Structure 1
Amino acid sequence: MEKNSLGELTVSAQGLGCMGMSEWYGLADWDQSIATVHRAIELGVTLLDTANVYGDGHNEVLVGRAIHDRRDSVQIATKFGIDRSGGDDKRINRGDHGYVKRAAESSLLRLGIDTIDLYYLHRPSQTAEIEETVGAMAELVAEGKVRYLGLSEVDESLLRRAHAVHPISAVQSEYSLWTRDPENLAPVMKELGIGLVPYSPLGRGFLTGTVDRATFDEKDFRSKSPRFVGDAGDANQAIAETVIEIATRIGATPAQVALAWVGAQGGRLGISIVPIPGTKRVKWLEQNVGAVDLELDAETLKTLDSLGERVVGARY
């Protein structure tokens, strides 16, 4: 697979989001998930994305087990900051110095590795200024426990303040045909040499054309997502249908079309983009990886660009 850069960190042009292997997307299967990670590595995917909050640590343990004999073939990205220890209804976004240092030690233990390749602040902190949080993260770099730093879902002010403390390699944000918010941050990312890691580049599965909204179980958070339910879900179906029509015309899958669009935005925005589509099944992984080699012509890109204006409903 082609490579791409997140700051000075070189990774595969497409990564793998592992969250759904542990939580929020219905039932998961440990062995199936391990097989998916192994197949991803075989196909050249090197960037594996997890977080300490996914399954309350379960996901980091799973990823660690999957790569225990393949550590040299991958870059591990994990995140900290969302503290659910008081219950989901009392979650808090933390970034205080002691918490950051302890969170990293716990992630290293669960992953079974000595160094985290890319360590993200999962959400802006409610307990500390960004300078304190990134200062603690910088200490982890100096200690050899982390290689590169990232932030998730931040604005320009926080990004600049963080980067002034220690170079930031990547920003992880939701970005897809129907979520364009990170484009507002692209100019400063270009200026500072920071890459974008889009999560949910397939619109949480909606853009694949394979989602049956009537079949979501109670463990699937999409059953209550504003863009998936009711009149909004019905209206957004037209967006998915357009992606399906284009895919049929060019002999690709809707997922590949949606991912190819994301990949093509790097040149337009002037930044490096490494999407991390999530899946827990080998079948969908293989399909997603095929998007790396798909080039969309100018007319197709124009048609897809217009879909963002038709989205109904908030992200959350």
Structure 2
Amino acid sequence: MEHRKLGNQGLTVSALGLGCMGMSEFYGATNDTESIQVIQAALDNGITLLDTADMYGFGHNEELVGKAIKGRRAGVTIATKFGIVREKDNQRARGICGSPDYVKQACDASLKRLGIETIDLYYQHRIDTTVPIEETIGAMAELVQAGKVRYIGLSEAKAETIRRAHRVHPLTALQTEYSLWTRDIEAEILPTLRELKIALVAYSPLGRGFLTGAINTLETLAPDDYRRYNPRFEGDNFDKNKQMLDGVTEIAKQLGCTTAQLALAWVLAKGQDIVPIPGTKRQKYLMDNINSTKVTLTNDVIQALETLIRPEKVQGTRYTAEMMGALNN
């Protein structure tokens, strides 16, 4: 497994990480035993970056990751996030908090659930527009000084916020959505990251499974699968987006790889400072994703893919209107 630098503070991780969110909720039924096996198989096959957050499963996901890495902490980079506040009696409700006191409380709670002494990479999950970013980052910097956190980052932040935060304490990574059908960061955010030597950790690099080509109808998704309410998967949007994917599938056949591997290879080819973190609950798909690191793309193939799936042709926003308001603040 190739390794890549995250930022310029010294953190190096596998070129491909593992997103663990779906092991706790959002994508249908879960199985802790199977999920732990997937995490351990990922580590066995060279993946060193595991991504979680305190809000995934109301803390369950951190506990799950903690169980999976017990006895094999060395060499594993644990990334987790704080800032999205949820209520168990209204699971679709979301609040955002970035107050210094909350940052420290959230960190202590995550450390306990994970069963570790230090979080390797700690992100602010969403920006709290009611708290100056300097105050939030200041609290995160204190966690670094206290030895509770090694490196810090932001998630879904705009360029101006990234610059302000980086002046308080160096950021190692920005986690945001990036894939063939979500490329809005290329205009301003990605150039800013590269100017400041901050890495991009790309979540949903497979477009929540859409770019695998395996979802032919929403009827195959569980009734509680969050994608049933995602604008890009709803109604005519799904059918129109699916048409764009046909050409991608054809290129994959020509290259002798899966559609998912091609989509991941595209993200990997966009820069050595980018690390995608596809999520999966199945060992079969884990190995499929890992093998994407063996797929080499020519400039002609990259251009063909970007012509087939153009951002302005993608139907539907990447989140509901309410959730879109929490992005790029």
TM-score, with structure 1 as normaliser: 0.96
Counterpart in the other structure of 2:52? 50
The answer (yes or no) to whether the contact 1:93–1:124 under 8 Å persists in 2 is yes
- How far 1:240 moved relative to its partner? 2.1
Partners of 1:232 and 1:90 lie apart in 2 by 25
Name the structure 1 match of 2:79: 77
Does 1:225 pair with 2:227?
Answer: no
Q: Percent identity?
A: 55
Within 1, Cα distance between the matches of 2:294 and 2:254? 17
Query: Contact 1:117 / 1:147 at 8 angstroms: preserved in 2?
Result: yes
- Matches of 2:87 and 2:271, distance apart in 1: 38
Q: Tell me if the contact between 1:179 and 1:308 (Cα under 8 Å) persists in the aligned partners.
A: no
**2:204 counterpart residue number:** 200
Letter in 1 for 2:19: G
Q: What is residue 30 of structure 2 aligned with on the other side?
A: 28
Unaligned runs of 5+ in 2: 320-329
Relative to 1, partners in 2 of residues 1:131 and 1:76: Cα closer, same or farther, differing over 3 Å?
A: same
Q: Is the 8 A contact 1:176 1:262 kept in 2?
A: yes
Equivalent residue for 1:174? 177
Q: Which runs of 5+ in 1 are unaligned?
A: none
The aligned counterpart of 2:166 is 163
For residues 163 and 298 of structure 1, the distance between their equivalents in structure 2, rounded to whole angstroms, comes to 33
For 1:135-180, what per-residue CA distance to the aligned partner results, in whole angstroms no more than 9, with x for missing partners? Answer: 0000000000000001000001100010010000000000000000
- Give 3-state SS (helix, strand or coil) of 1:73's partner: coil
After superposition, what is the alpha-carbon deviation per residue over 1:106-143, rounded to whole angstroms, capped at 9, x for unaligned? 00000000000000000011441101100000000000
Q: What is the identity, as a one-letter code, of the residue corresponding to 1:292?
A: T
Deviation for aligned residue 1:85:
3.2
Structure 1 pair 260/89, CA: closer, same or farther in 2 (3 Å)? closer
Q: CA deviation at 1:226?
A: 0.8
TM-score, normalised with respect to structure 2: 0.93
Aligned to 1:99: 102
Q: In structure 1, how many angstroms separate the alpha carbons of the residues matched to 2:18 and 2:310?
A: 24
Task: Please name the residue that 1:296 is paired with.
Answer: 297
Contact 1:17–1:49 at 8 Å: present in 2 too?
yes
Q: What residue in structure 2 maps to residue 67 of structure 1?
A: 69
How far has the Cα of 1:73 moved from its partner?
Answer: 2.7
Tell me if 1:150 matches 2:153: yes
What is the aligned partner in structure 1 of residue 117 from structure 2? 114
Q: Does 1:188 align with 2:189?
A: no
Secondary structure of the structure 2 residue equivalent to 1:84:
strand
Whole-angstrom distance in 2 between the partners of 1:42 and 1:190: 31
C-alpha distance in structure 2 between counterparts of 1:191 and 1:50, whole Å:
27
- Deviation at residue 90 of structure 1 after TM alignment: 4.5
* AA at the equivalent of 1:162: A
What residue is the counterpart of 2:270 in the other structure?
Answer: 265
The question of whether the paired residues in 2 share the 8 Å contact of 1:149 and 1:170 is answered with yes
How big is the shift at 1:219?
1.6
